Structure 1
Amino acid sequence: MHRSSGQLGFGDGFLDPGLGRNQRLDAIDAAIDWEPLDRLVRVLYSAGEGRPSYRPLTMVKALLLQQWYGLSDVRLEEVLSDTLSYRRFVGLSLEDGTPDHSTISRFRTALCRHELDTALFEEVLGQLEAKGMVLKEGTLLDATLVSAQARRPGREAGMGGKSSHDPDADWTRKNGRSHFGYKAHVAVDQGSGVIRQAILTPAKTSESEVADDLVCGDEQAVYADKAYEHKERRARLKAAGIKDRVMHRNHRYQAALPYWQQRRNALIAPIRAAVERVFGTLKRSYGYERVGYVGLKRNATQFRLLCIAFNLKKAAKLSA
C-alpha cells in the first residue's frame, strides 16, 4: 500500500529545484493555508471508510486539478503518474504510488457522503474573506443550465419525462428550447468575482425558489435580473438594510414598464451581467457544459468542487 506523506522522497533530492514547476499551481498553492482543509478531511481516516491509501489532502488537491483541467478520473490517474508539476502540487514524491481512478472515485463519494465538499467550500471562502478578497459591496445572483450526463428521455416520454438512469435530472424551457438536466445557481461578490454561494438543483427549479438562500446577508446590495423579482423579497432586503437592485418585469395586463423602471433596469443590467463571466469561465475553461455524474447529490459535490477551484484560481490572481 502506498501512502503519500507529503514529504520529499529520496529521489526528489536529485531533481533540479526548478524542474517541473508550474507557476500557476505554485501561486494557487500559496494563496491559502491548506492545514485547516487537511484537518477537515482527516476525519475520513476514522469515519468508517477504512484508512485511505493516500493523504486525504492529496486527494482533495487531485480533485481540484481535475476541475481546472477538465479531466476524467482515468485521465487524472494518468497525468498524476507522468506530470511532475501535478505531483508536486498534490504532495506526491517520485517514490509515491499514484491513486488509480477507482480510488479517486471512492474518495469523491466519501466527500459527498460526509458533506465535506460544503465544509471545504466554506473554509476556502472564509480564508478569502479574512484576507480582504471578498468586498461585500454587492452580490450578483444568477443561474445557468447544465446538461445531464444521462441521455434525454425519448420522444415517447415527452417533455417532462424522467430518465431511469438519472431520475433527479429534469426538464425546463429557455428561449424556446427544451433543456434536460440541472441548474447551477451562484451568488458572486461584486468587484472580486469570488463565488460566495453555490447551489445545484434540477433544471425545472426556478431562480426565485432558491434566491433567498443565495443572499449572504452582509452585502451592501443585491443585483439580479427580473427572474428574481418578488414583492416579499424586496421587503426582506429593505428590512435587512440591503439595497434592492433586482430588475423589474412586466406583470399581467401591463403593456410596458413605466419609464422609471425601464431606466432602473438599464442601470442595473451591466452590473448584474458581470456574473455571466463566471459561468463563461466554468463552461469554456472548465468544461462545465454537462454534469459529470448521475444524481443530484453527486453532481452538487462536483459543482462545489468546481467553485472551490474557481475561487482558488481567483485568489491567486487577486494575491498577485
Structure 2
Amino acid sequence: MLGPKQEAQGALFYEFSIEDHVPQDHLLRSIDRFVDLTEIRAYLAEFYSHTGRPSVDPELLIRMLLVGYCFGIRSERRLCEEVHLNLAYRWFCRLDLSDRVPDHSTFSKNRHGRFRDSELLRHLFETTVARCITEGLVSGQRMAVDASLIEADANKQKSTPKEDWDASAINATDAPRAVREYLDTLDEAAFGAASEVQPKFTSHSDPASQWTAARKGPAFFSYSDNYLIDTDHGVILDVEPTRSIRQAEVGSTKTMLTRVKDKFGLVPDWMIADTAYGSGPMLGWLVDRKIDPYIPVIDKAGRPDGTWTRTDFDWDAENDQYICPEGHALKQFRRNYSDPNRGPTGKG
C-alpha cells in the first residue's frame, strides 16, 4: 500500500544527539581517540592580546584543518561549508547544532599570522612524533627520504621567461604577499640559494614555486614536500618544503637529519634514498656521520654524443695499459718528441 506523502513539519522541541548519528566505524572516530590538543591554548597564549573581543578557539581551527586534510578539502571556504552541513565533522570539531562555524577568513588570518609566527603547526607535528616514539613506533635506526611534488596554484600564462625576469626590479612595498615572501626566501638554501640556475619560467603570483617537468609530462609550477621516514612502521619523522629541484631536495635531507638529532636524539644506522641523492658530497656527508648510505651513486660516465666512455675500455694489467673496444692499446704518447718542450706537460 502506498504510504502517506512525506511533508516537512516544524516541531517546537527536538531531542537530538550528534553522538548518536556518527557511525562507530567512522574515520574521524578512529582519529579522535589519538588527538590531544590540550596544550594549544597555553602554547599560543602570548600571541593573543589581553584586550578586545574573544577569539575563536584555536583547537577548533586545528580540528577543522584536520578534517580538511583527511578528506581532501583544500578550500577553506568549502571546508567551513562542509563542517556546517556534516554532522560527523561537527562532532569531531566539538560543535553543537546551534554553534556557529568560523568564517573562512579566520583561517587565513591565523595561518599567515599567529600560526606562522608561533610555528604552531610544527609544534603539533613534533608533539605527534614524540608520542610515536614513546609508543615504540619509531626505532630511529633505519630511515628513508624522498620528495613529493605539490602543484602550485600558478598559471603559466601569467609568468615571465628567465631572460626577462629581474627580481631586483620588484618593488617589495607594492608587491603581493606571495611575491614579498619570495623576496624573503631568495637567500634560503631550500629556495633561492639552492641553485644558481634560473628556472625557465617564473610565476608572477607565486615566484617561489619551481617550473618543473619532473613527472615526465607537461611542465607545471610546483613545490617539493620532503619526508624523512622511519621505515619500521612508516612514521614520518620530519618534513621540509623546498623548490622542486634536486639541489634543494638533497639539502633538505641534511636539515631534517640534523633537526631530528637535535630534537629527539635520533641518528640512523643507515639511510635509503633514490639516485637523486647519490651525489658525492651527499654520500660523504652521511659517511662522515657514521650513517651507511643505501643510495645508488649518480653515474656521469655516460656520454650523450655517442663516443666511448671509460667503462668501454678494458684494463690490461700485464702490460699496464687500457685496451679500446676496437682492440688497440690506449697509449700515453703517440710519438717521441725530439724537442721535450713539444711533448705533454708534467700534468699530462
TM class, shorter-length: 0.5 to 0.7
The structure with higher relative contact order (CA 8 Å, sep 6+) is 1
Q: 1:34 to 1:16 in 2, by over 3 A?
A: closer
**Residue in 1 that maps onto 2:71:** 69
Q: Is the 8 A contact 1:145 1:184 kept in 2?
A: yes
Q: Is the 8 A contact 1:169 1:202 kept in 2?
A: yes
**Residue in 2 that maps onto 1:123:** 127
**Residue in 1 that maps onto 2:39:** 36
**Residue in 1 that maps onto 2:140:** 136
The equivalent position to 2:205 in structure 1, one of 162, 165, 177, is 165
Q: Secondary structure at the match of 1:199?
A: strand
| 1:47-91 Cα distance to aligned partner (Å, 9 max, x none) | 99x655321011111111111112211111112112121112112
Q: 1:126 to 1:12 in 2, by over 3 A?
A: farther
Could you list the runs of 5+ residues in structure 2 that have no partner in the other structure?
1-12, 163-198, 262-266, 303-308, 313-348
**Residue in 1 that maps onto 2:85:** 82
Aligned partners of 1:189, 1:20: CA distance in 2, in Å?
A: 34
Q: 1:17 to 1:73 in 2, by over 3 A?
A: closer
Q: Secondary structure at the match of 2:145?
A: strand
Aligned partners of 1:168, 1:139: CA distance in 2, in Å?
A: 29
Aligned partners of 2:35, 2:118: CA distance in 1, in Å?
A: 23
**Residue in 1 that maps onto 2:110:** 107
Q: Is the 8 A contact 1:32 1:127 kept in 2?
A: no
Q: Which amino acid aligns with 1:233?
A: M
Superposition CA RMSD, Å: 3.0
Q: 1:243 to 1:47 in 2, by over 3 A?
A: farther
The 10-residue stretch of structure 1 (124-133 or 198-207) with the greater mean CA deviation from structure 2: 198-207
Q: Is the 8 A contact 1:140 1:188 kept in 2?
A: yes
Could you list the runs of 5+ residues in structure 1 that have no partner in the other structure?
1-10, 258-320
Aligned partners of 1:97, 1:83: CA distance in 2, in Å?
A: 13
Q: Is the 8 A contact 1:77 1:100 kept in 2?
A: yes
| 1:88-112 Cα distance to aligned partner (Å, 9 max, x none) | 2112222321112112222222312
| 1:111-140 Cα distance to aligned partner (Å, 9 max, x none) | 123322222211121122111122323111
Q: Does 2:250 correspond to 1:246?
A: no
**Aligned counterparts, 1:1-320, within 5 A:** 14-15=16-17, 17-21=19-23, 23-46=26-49, 53-71=55-73, 72-109=75-112, 110-153=114-157, 157=161, 160-174=200-214, 175=216, 178-204=219-245, 206=247, 207-215=249-257, 216-217=260-261, 218-252=267-301
Q: What displacement does 1:256 show?
A: 5.9
Q: 1:77 to 1:176 in 2, by over 3 A?
A: closer
Q: Which amino acid aligns with 2:252?
A: V
Percent same amino acid at aligned positions? 26
Please, what TM-score do these two structures have when normalized by structure 1? 0.67
Q: Secondary structure at the match of 2:203?
A: coil
Q: 1:51 to 1:116 in 2, by over 3 A?
A: farther
How many residue pairs end up in the alignment?
A: 246
Q: Which amino acid aligns with 1:142?
A: D
Q: Is the 8 A contact 2:279 2:298 kept in 1?
A: no
Q: Is the 8 A contact 1:184 1:199 kept in 2?
A: yes
| 1:165-214 Cα distance to aligned partner (Å, 9 max, x none) | 11111223434753422122111110311211111112235232222113
Aligned partners of 2:203, 2:46: CA distance in 1, in Å?
A: 35
Aligned partners of 2:41, 2:234: CA distance in 1, in Å?
A: 26
Aligned partners of 1:190, 1:200: CA distance in 2, in Å?
A: 21
Q: Is the 8 A contact 2:212 2:220 kept in 1?
A: yes
Comparing both structures, which one devotes a greater share of its residues to helix?
1
Q: 1:143 to 1:198 in 2, by over 3 A?
A: same
Q: 1:84 to 1:225 in 2, by over 3 A?
A: same
Q: Is the 8 A contact 1:146 1:184 kept in 2?
A: yes
Q: What displacement does 1:230 show?
A: 3.3
Please, what TM-score do these two structures have when normalized by structure 2? 0.62
Q: 1:95 to 1:87 in 2, by over 3 A?
A: same
Q: 1:111 to 1:155 in 2, by over 3 A?
A: closer
**Residue in 2 that maps onto 1:308:** none
- Max radius of gyration: which structure? 2
**Residue in 1 that maps onto 2:330:** none
